[in-house]
Amino acid sequence: MKTKQRRPFARALALGFIFGLLVIAAACTQTSASLTGSAGVVAAGAALNTANQSPAQSAAFQLQSERGINVADSTDVNLLKDLKFDWIMVFLPPDYAVPPFKILYRVPLGNAVSGRAEFVNAWADDLERTARERRGLIQAYAIGNEVNLSREWANGQPDPVLYTRLLSIAYARIKTADPTAIVVSAGLAPTGGDGPGHMDDLTYARAMFEAGAASAFDAYGLHPYGYAYPPEQDPNDPNVKGLAFRRAETHRALMEQYGVSDKQMWATEFGWLINPQEEGVSCTWPDLDWHRVSRAQQADYVKRAFDYAKANWPWMGAMFLWNYDFSRSPLYPDPCEQMKWYSIIEPSGTPRPVVDALR
């Protein structure tokens, strides 16, 4: 975004793939515009009437399985136009439009995860200012990222109650500045259960709903990666432990249990990790090696995932493939940075087979 030499607005903070202090322990029962102000909310378990949806909620519900993709450099996206993507997700607030794409901006939680009033209020003020200044440039906001992981909490314990509080504040502030903007809750990372550094994604989501999160988003965020499996894989197979693309169905059932069937889910990240050896690079990832698929499998699975969602998930909104171009981002010089091996283009910019599959 500059001189106007434009600077790419996806200069990522730490982005992750799968696996973000806790101060507030009381259940969140109010939506507030700051840590001290408040306004009433709908109880988490209450059924919501679609006739009373906000314009943003109504708009979000029209976006069934629209194509989106995470982008590192928004100044070079011509290929995405050819592939008929509708959305791009970026990591810094944009200074300019990127037609014909709609923009989802992922909002970092920053020091607000401390729960300290001065940090939360400064974060909320900045977010409201961004929403006001970028009205018309940003169509949707994702509040945080994979908040069931400790790394998103300065390596502290993931806190769904505090996160719900921050989500509620963000919702109120964004709607004050731009009532038409769509607010998406943080995409949760499927984890296969509790463990060091992470909380089970369903446990975390349930705690969010119990704390009142249902009234603080227009769309529910999830990261239903495919791991090593095809998109049709049954997530309830005991050998899979929920680590499959169709984990989204389990989360949808939870949404319906809490009366949130009037809102869509958005897959703000999903994809498959290719084996670098196919491009002559040798990498070892102790936690991710089992995820590897071939370039041909990545192409096949991505296409089938979009097709499966379109055919079977009327409740799925925009779906953001991870990722377009992190393979060539100068911010990640290590050839074994795992984000590079989800990209749909090689470091040289040459399209991988998945590009033809998306045409």
Q: What is the pLDDT of residue 65?
A: 72
pLDDT digits (tens, 9 = 90+) for 30-70: 334 544 333 222 222 223 334 445 666 555 556 677 999 99
What value does the mean pLDDT take over residues 342-357? 97
Average pLDDT, the chain: 86
Q: Is 5 helix (H, G, I), strand (E, B) or coil?
A: coil
Q: What is the pLDDT of residue 54?
A: 61
Q: By CB neighbour count within 10 A (0-12 exposed, 13-18 middle, 19+ buried), where does 197 fall?
A: middle
Provide CATH code, domain 50-358.
3.20.20.80
**CA-CA distance, 258 to 203, in Å (whole number)?**
13
In sequence order, what DSSP letters do the residues of 293-333 get, joined into one string?
B-HHHHHHHHHHHHHHHHHH-TTEEEEEES-SSGGG-TT--
Please determine, for residue 199, whether its predicted confidence score (pLDDT) is greater than 80. Answer: yes
Q: Cα torsion at 332, 333, 339, 341 (round to 10°)?
A: 160
Neighbours of 266 (CB within 10 A): 30
pLDDT tens profile 117-170: 999 999 999 999 999 999 999 999 999 999 999 999 999 999 999 999 999 999
Residue 61 is predicted with a pLDDT of 56
> How many Cα atoms occupy the beta-carbon half-sphere of 3 within 13 Å?
1
| DSSP string across 135-204 | BTTB-EEEESS-TTBGGGGTTS---HHHHHHHHHHHHHHHHHH-TT-EEEEPPBPP-SS-BTTB--HHHH
- Percentage of the chain lying above the pLDDT 90 cut: 81
Tokens of 141: 């906001």
pTM of the predicted protein model: 0.85
Domain residue extents for the chain = 50-358
User: Cβ–Cβ contacts within 10 Å for residue 37, how many?
Assistant: 13
